Structure 1
Amino acid sequence: MAFDVDLFVIGGGSGGVRAARMAAARGARVALAEQSRLGGTCVIRGCVPKKIMVFASQFRETLDLAPGYGWTLGDGAFSWETFRARLDAELDRLEGVYRRLLEGSGVTIHPTRAVLEDPHTVRLEDGGRVSAAHVLVATGGHPVRPDIPGAALGLVSDDMFTLDRLPRSLLIVGGGYIACEMAGIFAGLGVQVTQFYRGAQILRGFDDEARGLVAEALQERGVSLHVGTDLLCLGGPDAVFDLPAGERPPEPEGPSDGPVKVKPTHGAEQVFDAVLFATGRAPSTKGLGLEEIGVRLGRRGHVEVDRYSQTAVPSVYAIGDATDRPALTPVAIRDAMAFAETVFGGKPTPVDHEALASAVFTQPELGTVGLTEEEAREREPVEIYATSFRPLRTAFAERPDRVLMKLVVSRETRRVLGVHIVAPDAGEMIQLAAIAVRMGATKEDFDRTIAVHPTMAEEMVTLREPVRRA
């Protein structure tokens, strides 16, 4: 059978674009459909705008530190409108870069939604149909709201980059990395931030010692953090929540542009200018026709794939956040490269997702690679090397900030099983530490490395005695 294209990619995010370009570079005829904006979550409504907002929010701390270094400054004022215009222009520029890269690779772009009719036929929402030898699902994920009354009044992370104005007060519901990053950003921009998390400590799944220090830092920066607390319902500023049993108030149609009253599981009802739900994300796989053609979906809606990204339908593959792999942009890009090499390069290439480095862009940042102390203790006897101290930059200005450097080491092999850093620019440091961990470096390899002084990172190679063994 002759197909219109060799590859049809559904989704124009980082993974989908990389797969399309690499397949085209290997001589494949490629088409790609994206119903929203090229660049996907990372470029348009995730990593890139978030990091730019982190930068914007850090200037308040710089202004606060300046007098301690002898500077006399006037009152700083932040203009959300000016910043938004610059941010929008930058995202437009980046989307244009993605478009030019695809067009320059010879990829046909369909700016519309696409669904699968059968294992080799893609139906476009504008009425067209394209037959393909292979189909790649790279649709990413989306934020979800909890199933509670009035949830539609709340915002999700996508909305935070397009606000018309800064709220004076913001309630953030959630304790994952998105919730904590947003708390730091908006507190830094001068918003009164409250954070509810139903668990005992934020950043579940990260090293306990590191997450504890991040929680302290959030509170020192003005975030009112309440753990063990969740929301029961939301309403307008005059809402009455004590309705008869089994009765729910009318559901709002969308996010509120005015004050929102909330009823928490603990404490009194409160009113906020805005509420942000950062309570998780789900794969964007609904309504793509996947199950109808035999592709298996997991409980959360993720596409089930093998180590080569192939589904139960041989012609259909999936990568990135549409699968159950770690929801990180570099993972989606590496998946895309492996897919192209496997299908169009003639070299079956699985992706190793072990010992992934990641960074949480809180303030200070949390960088991590490998096993947490808790995970390592369950596997084998370990030694923990750690130090927490006041960094020179803020200590000189008499600020209480603290940072953490931590190594988790196997007592038997001496390999460094995990590295955890809580500090400014921890993301930059952990990228380099990840190379050592992936190469199997031992504690003695770290010890033989001469320090760079004066830096925070030098503590990683000067930790001589373990603080505990387990």
Structure 2
Amino acid sequence: MAALWRRRERLRAAPGLCRTVRARSGKNEYDLLVIGGGSGGLACAKEAAQFGRKVAVLDYVEPSPQGTKWGLGGTCVNVGCIPKKLMHQAALLGSALKDAQHYGWNIAQPVHHTWKVKYFNMKGSFSDPHTIRGLTKAGKETIVTAENIVIATGGRPKYPTHIAGALEYGITSDDLFWLKESPGKTLVVGASYVSLECAGFLTGIGLDTTVMMRSIPLRGFDQQMASLVTEYMESYGTKFLKRCFPNKVEKLESNRLQVTWKNTDLGTEETDSFDTVMWAVGRAPDTEALNLEAVGVKTNSETGKIIVDASEATSVPHIYAVGDITEGRPELTPTAIAAGKLLAQRLFGQSSELMDYDNVPTTVFTPLEYGCVGLSEEAAVQCYGSDNIEVYHAYYKPLEFTVAERDATQCYMKMVCLQEREQRILGLHFIGPNAGEVIQGFALGIKCGATYPQLMKTIGIHPTCAEEITKLHITKRSGLDATVTGC
């Protein structure tokens, strides 16, 4: 970065120098230039530097419509996974305090939450296939050239701009984690994991929270599990407006936001007022300012995402892309990091290993967590046919729920197996406490082709929720009661 700074200072004095030097020498300034300082981009850059290559990173965060901005690190670190998990934990601690009295703890004063936020920069575009034009916030230009370029600019939340008042008065997850005051009574519009996670922890810290869903929750996930997640959230206190979509948002004299929406089931128009309206209706790739068309990098005309091959290469051989900006890839931080590292190893470390995007585990951090790896039941049936699929399942009660007499109706797990090939496990789904920790352990076995008989030979750790997976024996096909009773 020091070299980049010195280069920039020289360019201020002689803006045409870079192109002149390159034209005379035929060499590029850097071996690798990464556009985007998020998880995938930084992982790729750091890995390339380990091979002694000259690497530069360009990163700039365009402020959100509400003015929210942050520094290096990307969505995950600043406005995504990390603050989300911390807020999720804050909500869980609130529930734990309520349970504590059942375990003998005396909590003298009412339990409530205090909203706290602690606040702990060149935009790039292509000039030619090897040249990036960088602009600072002040509009000063720097020209950087590189032999290889990686695009890792990720995505930003979408605004439904066709809805009156959406942009003027609404926020997104980019803004939520940077609010200086509590969002108060909140409407979260959308049925994605971002929507449900945010609504879950807002409810958990004691806020009046409503989720508005146009269609199904957690599209792309197993729908039986998604229904259980939303059922638990409703029992937890989150309100749901199902099969509804907003028409407009208006600001009242009281500064509250009045939302008008259509209820498609009833065919009626309804209204209510909120302190905050948060849009969680998907994310769009951050490609507009890159000038990709000028250098021939192809994108999907519908999604705007960059089309890459198995080696993360775009339609221009020395230009690559990793992470959320790429077409057909999981929008997950760990996959972007792994893909970035493997790309750098292929470019500079004489490796040929490609990123394997199959059986990537993930967790939705709703109040009752949902973790999964592999295929959903619907996807397995679509791939192999219902007659070739066996589903083992169980409803269970976590031990820690018993003393506080917490409802465990939605604590459920299922294993989707292929009847052929010794019942290879195609997917594992778990709803319950610490789902991410549970699924991470089983993900290795499933990645290695584990079978149902092998898992049944695995001894469970007692007393844990995860051990119930090693005892799954009731199939859906049998129609028998799948409720676990006692040890």
Match of 1:42 in 2: 76
Residue 402 of structure 2, aligned match among 385, 388, 395: 395
Alpha-carbon distance in structure 2 between the residues aligned to 1:293 and 1:329: 27
Structure 1 residue 371, shift from structure 2 partner: 0.8
Three-state SS of the structure 2 residue aligned to 1:468 is helix
* Superposed counterparts of 1:78-93, under 5 Å: 78-80=113-115, 83-85=116-118, 88=119, 92=120
Question: Could you tell me the percent identity over the aligned residues?
Answer: 38
Residue 299 of structure 2, aligned match among 271, 288, 297: 297
After superposition, what is the alpha-carbon deviation per residue over 1:92-151, rounded to whole angstroms, capped at 9, x for unaligned? 3xxxxxxxxxxxxxxxxxx31111100011111131101111111010110011121111
> Does residue 232 of structure 2 align to residue 211 of structure 1?
no
Three-state SS of the structure 2 residue aligned to 1:62 is helix
After superposition, what is the alpha-carbon deviation per residue over 1:35-87, rounded to whole angstroms, capped at 9, x for unaligned? 1321100101111111111111112211211122222212123221xx313xx
Three-state SS of the structure 1 residue aligned to 2:72 is coil
Match of 2:349 in 1: 345
Q: Is the 8 A contact 2:393 2:473 kept in 1?
A: no
* Superposed counterparts of 1:449-460, under 5 Å: 449-460=458-469
Residue 260 of structure 2, aligned match among 226, 251, 263: 263
> Does residue 62 of structure 2 align to residue 27 of structure 1?
no
Alpha-carbon distance in structure 2 between the residues aligned to 1:258 and 1:32: 42
Match of 1:250 in 2: none
User: Number of residue pairs matched?
Assistant: 426
Q: Is the 8 A contact 2:391 2:475 kept in 1?
A: yes
Structure 1 residue 237, shift from structure 2 partner: 2.0
Residue 151 of structure 1, aligned match among 163, 166, 190: 166
* Superposed counterparts of 1:97-108, under 5 Å: none
Alpha-carbon distance in structure 2 between the residues aligned to 1:259 and 1:401: 37
Q: Is the 8 A contact 2:372 2:439 kept in 1?
A: yes
Partner amino acid for 1:79?
A: T
- For structure 1, the 5+ residue unaligned runs are 93-110, 239-256
After superposition, what is the alpha-carbon deviation per residue over 1:377-420, rounded to whole angstroms, capped at 9, x for unaligned? 22221111111122221222111134112111111120111000
Alpha-carbon distance in structure 1 between the residues aligned to 2:374 and 2:319: 32
Partner amino acid for 2:415?
A: L
Q: Is the 8 A contact 1:8 1:31 kept in 2?
A: yes
Alpha-carbon distance in structure 1 between the residues aligned to 2:104 and 2:392: 37
* Superposed counterparts of 1:360-375, under 5 Å: 360-375=364-379
Structure 1 residue 30, shift from structure 2 partner: 0.6
Q: Is the 8 A contact 1:416 1:442 kept in 2?
A: yes
Residue 408 of structure 1, aligned match among 411, 416, 437: 416
Alpha-carbon distance in structure 2 between the residues aligned to 1:390 and 1:183: 24
Q: Is the 8 A contact 1:210 1:366 kept in 2?
A: yes
> Does residue 362 of structure 2 align to residue 358 of structure 1?
yes
Partner amino acid for 1:63?
A: L
Match of 2:326 in 1: 323
Q: What's the TM-score, normalizing by structure 1?
A: 0.88
Partner amino acid for 2:270?
A: A
Q: Is the 8 A contact 2:124 2:289 kept in 1?
A: no
Alpha-carbon distance in structure 1 between the residues aligned to 2:102 and 2:318: 63
Three-state SS of the structure 2 residue aligned to 1:420 is strand
Match of 2:67 in 1: none
Partner amino acid for 2:262?
A: T
Q: Is the 8 A contact 1:368 1:430 kept in 2?
A: yes
> Does residue 216 of structure 2 align to residue 169 of structure 1?
no
Alpha-carbon distance in structure 1 between the residues aligned to 2:206 and 2:97: 13
Greater CA drift, 35-44 or 347-356: 347-356
Match of 1:235 in 2: 250
Three-state SS of the structure 2 residue aligned to 1:331 is helix
> Does residue 107 of structure 2 align to residue 73 of structure 1?
yes
Match of 2:452 in 1: 443
Structure 1 residue 446, shift from structure 2 partner: 0.9
Match of 2:10 in 1: none
Q: Is the 8 A contact 1:384 1:469 kept in 2?
A: no
Partner amino acid for 1:405?
A: M
Greater CA drift, 154-163 or 381-390: 381-390
Alpha-carbon distance in structure 1 between the residues aligned to 2:478 and 2:305: 39
After superposition, what is the alpha-carbon deviation per residue over 1:302-359, rounded to whole angstroms, capped at 9, x for unaligned? 1111111111112211110111211100110111012101111122332110111111
- For structure 2, the 5+ residue unaligned runs are 1-25, 62-70, 264-268, 480-487
Alpha-carbon distance in structure 1 between the residues aligned to 2:474 and 2:92: 35
Partner amino acid for 2:171?
A: L
Backbone CA RMSD of aligned residues: 1.5
Match of 1:424 in 2: 433
Residue 116 of structure 1, aligned match among 120, 126, 132: 126
Alpha-carbon distance in structure 2 between the residues aligned to 1:258 and 1:159: 18
Alpha-carbon distance in structure 1 between the residues aligned to 2:179 and 2:286: 24
Structure 1 residue 431, shift from structure 2 partner: 0.7
Alpha-carbon distance in structure 2 between the residues aligned to 1:65 and 1:258: 37
Q: Is the 8 A contact 2:377 2:416 kept in 1?
A: yes
Match of 1:278 in 2: 280
Alpha-carbon distance in structure 2 between the residues aligned to 1:349 and 1:452: 35
Q: Is the 8 A contact 2:369 2:433 kept in 1?
A: yes
Q: Is the 8 A contact 1:383 1:469 kept in 2?
A: no
Three-state SS of the structure 1 residue aligned to 2:260 is strand
Three-state SS of the structure 1 residue aligned to 2:91 is helix
Q: Is the 8 A contact 2:171 2:279 kept in 1?
A: yes
After superposition, what is the alpha-carbon deviation per residue over 1:209-260, rounded to whole angstroms, capped at 9, x for unaligned? 211111111101110112211111111126xxxxxxxxxxxxxxxxxx9311
Three-state SS of the structure 2 residue aligned to 1:128 is strand
Alpha-carbon distance in structure 2 between the residues aligned to 1:348 and 1:303: 22
* Superposed counterparts of 1:178-257, under 5 Å: 178-199=194-215, 201-237=216-252
Q: Is the 8 A contact 1:382 1:469 kept in 2?
A: no
Match of 2:482 in 1: none
Structure 1 residue 469, shift from structure 2 partner: 6.8
Q: Is the 8 A contact 1:409 1:443 kept in 2?
A: yes
